[in-house]
Amino acid sequence: MKIESIITKGVSDAVMSLYALDFPADKIQPQQTKKEFEGNLTIMAFPFLKASRKAPEVTAAEIGEWLVENVPAVEKYNVVKGFLNLSVNPTFWLTTLHSIAADPDFGIVKPDEDSDLVMVEYSSPNTNKPLHLGHVRNNLLGYSLSLILEANGHKVVKTNIVNDRGIHICKSMLAWKKWGEGATPESTGKKGDHLIGDFYVLFDRNFKKEVEQLMAQGLTEDEAKAKSPLMLEAREMLRKWEAGDKEVRDLWKMMNEWVYAGFDETYRRLGVAFDKIYYESDTYLQGKDLVLKGLDEGKMYRKEDGSVWADLTAEGLDHKLLLRADGTSVYMTQDIGTAKLRYQDFPIDKMIYVVGNEQNYHFQVLSLLLDRLGFKWGKDLTHFSYGMVELPEGKMKSREGTVVDADDLIDKMIADAAETGAERFADMPEEERAEVARIVGMGALKYFLLKVDPRKNMLFNPKESIDFNGNTGPFLQYTYARIQSVIRRAGDDFDPLYMPAAIPNEAESDLIQKVADFPEVVKEAGRAYSPSLIANYCFELAKEYNRFYHDYSILREEDQAVRQLRLLLSYVVARTLKTGVALLGMEMPARM
């Protein structure tokens, strides 16, 4: 049993015995004792004063005395102004260490047949440009969240909706048709997603020129954008696509295949994956049919220009466009159709959309519309809204070609890791050195993006992320590699199944307690949808272990029982770190 559970039950029994107060154990919340005070866990005496009719200090002392006499896990106590600080018996921590070491899945709850099915959607790229830094944070958050939910005993389906149709796709297609001169990934030596992204930028540059020329003729900016020949051609191409025009469809298929191959390579390098991929080109018609059905039932309305809208003023919102005047769909229409298909494909208990906070309104509307259209799960969808990533130079703009490309970022992180760790990796064979640089570079990227509360905007600085001494991925990886080195040097003298008899000292007990907190951290990360909780727990654990490593001998310890205890403690710390960072999608190198 966890020490917190033992303490809460003990306190509940104590106040019943001392004051005839029936105080539920689940209402008692022990906290970690502050570092400046002696003890492991702290209980506030104030909720029991009405029943005890005594001063806070006296009440706390009476409860502490009762616990020492009746709960073997409690060794001693001290009272500070009504706060009861409890010191746990070191033999309890030794038993806890043995229990942790014997459980290879410590902290992880595996799904079973009765587990809820959670679907997590992330990535959601457009096929008119490569993935960029914003996509990287999205993919890493979505994949990590999926792993954390699985570690909490849920069945998880990881999904991606690829936005492979629409006016933005036609812009790239039109630019390639006008100025591409038959360029292919093979002929240019470029990844397909990069090649198509170049044409998206090219379209925007020429479009801006046309708008400037039209404005010089006296048109307003809005009028110029509407009458731009390029934009009119792009919209005509979209209408032909929706009409099934063979030439447009063949061009679309060819260019999308180039992009998919590029995406797959980037996903592989990021270490993320999906169980099911949906395509907007397959789902938008489903959404269109549902909207038209809602129109027939009076749940939507049509304007004079033929466009279809939903009136959401009764829900405190505005009017939402669902079908344009020319009959083409918008993103909302696609999401309605995708939601329907997903619930047909899977018995989903919970649907989570991992999408940036600039889409908060979109998902508020989507929930209302799905509910209005009769889908009982509409109101239960969850928008995992996360903050944007910015650079020291400011925001990114894909139309202007100023984004931080995901592939370039990955290359830079690995190169920086190789350079920063050149001395550390010097004695490794070249192949191993390259692999460790990859693991460290990607670990630095993932940890830096995931250690921040996902709901906050963040500033990404690659240089800060690769530091072997700060709150970084490489620091965790170095701690793990350090422990592996200790275990290797111990050789046959260490057996993780051997249970040492030495009683832990205070520092060892504190470290065992820190490891023992891991399952609750995983549980809370699942409840809060927050990989940052696991990232920061791993940092605190690594920091505490390094203090211990600095202050106490391990391999040079002459007392064999103490040596075995410290080796076992090091072993469970390393294993817990590896399990924890794996939930962030990170790998651990065997040595650094």
Are residues 501 and 436 part of one domain? yes
Q: Is residue 25 a contact partner of residue 11, using CB atoms and an 8 Å limit? A: yes
In CATH, what number is assigned to the domain containing residue 533?
1.10.730.10
491: left (phi over 0), alpha (psi -120 to 50) or beta: left
149 and 214 inside one domain: yes
Q: How many domains does the chain have?
A: 3
Last residue of a domain, one of 355, 390, 425: 390
- Burial of 297: CB neighbours in 10 Å, binned 0-12, 13-18, 19+: exposed
Q: Could you tell me how many helices (H) and strands (E) the chain has, helices first? A: 22, 14
Q: Are residues 357 and 436 in the same domain?
A: no
Q: What is the pLDDT of residue 498?
A: 87
Residue 508, in any domain of the structure: yes
Strands 41-44 and 83-88: antiparallel
With respect to residue 111, please indicate whether it lies within any of the assigned structural domains: no
Closest CA to 157 of 375, 352, 385, 381: 352
Shared-domain flag, residues 374 and 411: no
Phi, psi of 255 (to 5 degrees): -70, -35
Residue 133 resides in a domain: yes
- Do 433 and 536 lie in a common domain? yes
* Residue 127 identity (one-letter amino acid): T
Of 63, 88, 113, the residue at which a domain comes to its end is 88
Name the residue type at position 91: T
Please indicate, yes or no, whether residues 324 and 193 belong to a single structural domain of this protein.
yes
Count Cβ neighbours within 10 Å for each residue of 325-364 and write b for 16 or more, e otherwise.
Answer: eeebbbbbbbbbbbbbbbbeebebebbbbbbbeebeebbe
pLDDT tens for the chain, 592 residues: list them: 789 999 999 999 999 999 999 999 999 999 999 989 999 999 999 999 999 999 999 999 999 999 999 999 999 999 999 999 999 999 999 999 999 999 999 999 999 999 999 999 999 999 999 999 999 999 999 999 999 999 999 999 999 999 999 899 999 999 999 999 999 999 999 999 999 999 999 999 999 999 999 999 999 999 999 999 999 999 999 989 989 999 999 999 999 999 999 999 999 999 999 999 999 999 988 999 999 999 999 999 999 999 999 999 999 999 999 998 988 788 899 899 999 999 999 999 999 999 999 999 999 999 999 999 988 888 889 999 999 888 776 554 444 445 789 999 999 999 999 999 888 888 999 999 999 999 999 999 999 999 999 999 998 888 888 888 899 999 999 999 999 999 999 998 899 888 888 999 999 999 999 999 999 999 999 999 999 999 999 999 999 999 999 999 999 999 999 999 999 999 999 999 999 999 999 999 999 9
CATH number for the domain that contains residue 68: 3.30.1360.70
Find all residues with CB under 8 Å of 406, minimum gap 6, and list them: 130, 131, 132, 133, 135, 136, 266, 270
DSSP for 539-553, please give it: HHHHHHHHHHHHHS-
Q: pLDDT, tens digit, for every residue of 26-37?
A: 999 999 999 899
Question: Do 367 and 504 sit in the same domain of this protein?
Answer: no
pTM, two decimals, is 0.91
Residue type at 61 in one-letter notation: A
User: Cβ(445)–Cβ(410) under 8 Å?
Assistant: yes
| 476, 542: one domain | yes
**Residue 6 C-alpha from the chain's centroid:** 32
Same domain, 180 and 307: yes
SS3 assignment, position 513: helix
- CATH code at position 169: 3.40.50.620
Q: Which of 358, 390, 422 is the last residue of a domain?
A: 390
507 shares a domain with 386:
no
Q: Determine, yes or no, domain membership for 374.
A: yes
Identify the domain containing residue 182 by its residue range.
122-390
Q: What is the pLDDT of residue 386?
A: 95
Q: Report if residue 311 sits inside a domain.
A: yes
Instruction: Give domain status of residue 112, yes or no.
Output: no
- 398 domain residue, yes or no: no
Same domain, 359 and 233: yes
**For the segment 518-531, what is each residue's pLDDT rounded down to a tens digit?**
999 999 999 999 99
Q: How far is CA 389 from CA 448, 454, 464, in A?
A: 11, 10, 15
Task: Say whether both 283 and 357 belong to one domain.
Answer: yes
Any bridge partners for residue 350, and if so which?
118
| Residue at 513 is within a domain | yes
